[in-house]
Amino acid sequence: MRSHANPKLRPLKRHDLVYLDPARWDAVLERQLASDRTDPLIRSWVHKGWPLIARRPMAHETEGISLGLPLPPALGKRRIPFIVKPGDVLAVHEPTSVSSARGHAPKEWQRTFDELEFFAAHRQVELQVFGSLAWQALTGLDYLTLSSDIDLLLCVRSPTDIELLSSEISGIEDQSPNRIDGEFVRRDGLAANWREFLLGSDEVLAKSIKGVALIDRRKFLVGDFSS
């Protein structure tokens, strides 16, 4: 889903893909980077049409929009932090869907994706990817390694039995060549790792663009599913 021209159309969420105005990118680099600003990949990043990713602001970041630029393993696998102005942003996209990214994944992962998409269709869960597979699909650069996790966002759009969903994902992982990492994500952006719901504890660690907190697992399950 795409938001045009103004990021204030909706609040940013973790993992949102933020596309910047190429005409403003050089100025962003000049404001914030020293040695890295001459790196040809970084300097050309936005001009290639590639996004940055929304992230949680650090304590000292009280103004602007907090973003990250993740470099591939060959360049140190660093995530370079940026603060940009609202006027620097052209568009905001939701994270990449599994269906559009899976063609960039190893052939050994394809059976796992078949099972995940069957699971998602029957459980009314929307599947998105983040991490190495997402960035490989977005840029064409080599982010995936033999040990890469399958990083998933499991978007829950209606109240459901998340413990059951977690159990079913665990069963898919048992047959997967790589570890399945990821989070259940509510419509309002609050997220918790799917493994948290296998542990049976009263609280889960919930994350949002604003912070991290332990919450009653029942509050996460009930959630706010208003549009």
Scan for tokens 């966002």, then name that residue. 153
Please state, in angstroms and rounded to a whole number, the distance separating the CA atoms of residues 152 and 181: 6
**89-93 and 79-84 as β-strands: parallel, antiparallel, unpaired?**
unpaired
Judge whether 151 counts as a catalytic residue.
yes
Collapsing DSSP to helix, strand or coil, 53 comes out as strand
Listed in sequence order, the residues at least 6 apart from 165 whose beta carbon sits closer than 8 Å to its beta carbon are 123, 125, 154, 156, 184, 194, 197
Instruction: Give the SS3 label for residue 71.
Output: coil
- Tell me how crowded residue 69 is: count the other CB atoms within 10 A of its CB: 19
For the chain, first and last CA: distance in Å?
15
Catalytic pick from 114, 151, 161, 188? 151
H-run or E-run covering 25: helix 22-32
Active site residue 188: no
Among residues 21, 36, 39, 149, the one annotated as catalytic is 149
Query: Tokens standing for 20?
Result: 């910047």
| Strands (E) located in 21-115 | 52-54, 65-70, 79-84, 89-93
Residues serving a catalytic function are 149, 151
